[in-house]
Structure 1
């Protein structure tokens, strides 16, 4: 294993799906490990962080990590009550996520581990735990330089842009691509010509802003939860149709796209079919985008 790598520990959205028909892609919810130069960054703490914690307890090289949370929906934090390093005295855990201050982040992280939801609170954690005050600029953790911005998902939800030794990794687990654009298009004929001109400008600005955050990323890990049929039923729920995800990645000049936050109702066969359709779109657009399915256990060499 190289000194710099990324590994997927959980790739599902909404809820875990430990079904035989899902095991090739994986059933755990969001968790991604990025390790470099003896430093550890973890993106989200869904059920994937549980086997990750068991793995960490079997090694001696690292005893500190930064956990960046996109938001506090249960599929992104429900692994924390079972995360073994939190109960070990020789570990230090640093948390960051949406919140006005460190105290608010702490309240959000600890809320699920209070009665009546769970019998053991974060007060029982033996690890040294810090909740990071939101910085004025970028977060830093060892070689990682991290910026963040709001994305389209219910509540306050962050996407993260991670600079690591000359590579850019963008992690946007929950995001509804083109949300404003599609909302305007639904009612476009109700507007007069001047309103249509204004809204056309707004759509362009919104899309350009979204693309700028992804622009030129070496690796983009992005929500691709829905087929077009399911997206029409769940418009506004805060997740992307895979077609919008792949087109956005092409427009942003991304190097590698990893389709992520898979719907728990989709089995391996259906996700493979989504991937094949993404490859068709890429070929039709004559793009050089390299598109993959984010699979549990998949490891990318970042050296």
Structure 2
């Protein structure tokens, strides 16, 4: 565990599937999982394979026996660590879950769906911790010092991003989001529209972008999908992920203070990701932007009190 009292730690940073390869170790191979610890309250964003070593680390301390896990969605790379999250199997622990779904029962059904025969030999009924599924009222949830609100993002199925406010700081977590989703749809259907319809669609597009920018305006930390290069994005438009260039420009437009490139493609080795990062820094230099841009690396710890 970190020696800092309040921190953000990346336990899994890959998208799509784990990449436990020697060429990927500087960035890390586990899938999405980010821990926030403030005043002994632990908030966990997503339960990909990164939650497995997090759970093991939690078992090595005595101060905390409750965590809240907020899930962006239920694709395997975001929940596949949950069957191996040790605290869930230990009496005396309390594990709270929230994610997309109309009610608690639907959230429980979606989480437990991967832990049934023939997909997995141990069902959630074997979890011995106090498991709670949470209803979020008016898209807001309060947990300890955290004020959490959800918002919809562009990704197949119902998918959330989260705005987390704590100790006067704002962290935005949006692991899977295709920033150019609307641009792609307009481009593909522009021949079907007359001039007036096209102008109306463009106005709606501008309005949505303005709202999306305001949702993250001046965020202290922005953790966002940066899965693809432009070449790969052109092959995979509509898959629900962003080109890293779109992510960098979007964050800079919103005057974000620190951007962390996250959910990177598992096919990209460390050298390639570091090349993309240098490109991102050059973009910011050309824009004369003061925003700091980082690679989200597995094991990286951000001292929250120094933000």
TM over 0.5, shorter chain: yes
- What is aligned with 1:205? 207
- How far, CA to CA, are the matches of 1:178 and 1:233 in structure 2? 13
**Is 1:182 aligned with 2:180?**
no
Cα distance in 2, alignment partners of residues 291 and 129 from structure 1:
37
For 2:41, which of 39, 42, 57 is the aligned residue? 39
**Alignment match, 1:117:** 119
> Residue in 1 aligned with 2:219?
217
Distance 2:192 2:86 in 1: 55
Does 1:90 find its partner at 2:82? no
Deviation at residue 202 of structure 1 after TM alignment: 1.2
Aligned partner of 2:13 in structure 1 is 11
List per-residue Cα deviations over 1:205-239 (Å, max 9, x = no partner).
Answer: 12112212211110000000000000000000000
**Normalised TM-score (structure 1):** 0.98
Residue 158 (str. 1) matches residue 185 (str. 2): no
Corresponding residue for residue 66 of structure 1: 68
Distance 2:16 2:121 in 1: 23
- What is the DSSP-based 3-state SS (H/G/I as helix, E as strand, rest coil) of the residue aligned with 2:260? strand
For structure 2, the 5+ residue unaligned runs are: none
Decide which of 98, 108, 115 is 2:110's aligned counterpart: 108
Root-mean-square deviation (CA), in Å?
0.9
1:137 Cα offset (Å): 4.3
Three-state SS of the structure 2 residue aligned to 1:93 is strand
Q: Distance in 2 between matches of 1:101 and 1:286?
A: 46
CA contact (8 A) 2:139 2:150 kept: no
Partner of 1:76 in structure 2?
A: 78
Contact 1:102/1:134 (8 A) holds in 2: no
- Distance across 1 between alignment mates of 2:55 and 2:9: 13
Q: 1:137 to 1:78 in 2, by over 3 A?
A: closer
Residue in 2 that maps onto 1:243: 245
**2:297, 2:72 → 1: CA distance?**
19
**Residue equivalent to 1:148:** 150
For 1:7 and 1:142, how far apart are their aligned partners in 2? 18
Determine whether 1:26 maps to 2:20.
Answer: no
Displacement of 1:81 in angstroms is: 0.6
- Report the Cα distance in structure 2 between the residues aligned to 1:183 and 1:210, rounded to whole angstroms: 18
Deviation of the 1:99 alpha carbon: 0.3
In 1: Cα distance, 2:189 partner to 2:280 partner = 28
SS at match of 1:72: coil
Distance across 2 between alignment mates of 1:129 and 1:152 = 30
Map of 1:50-61 to 2, 5 A cutoff?
Answer: 50-61=52-63
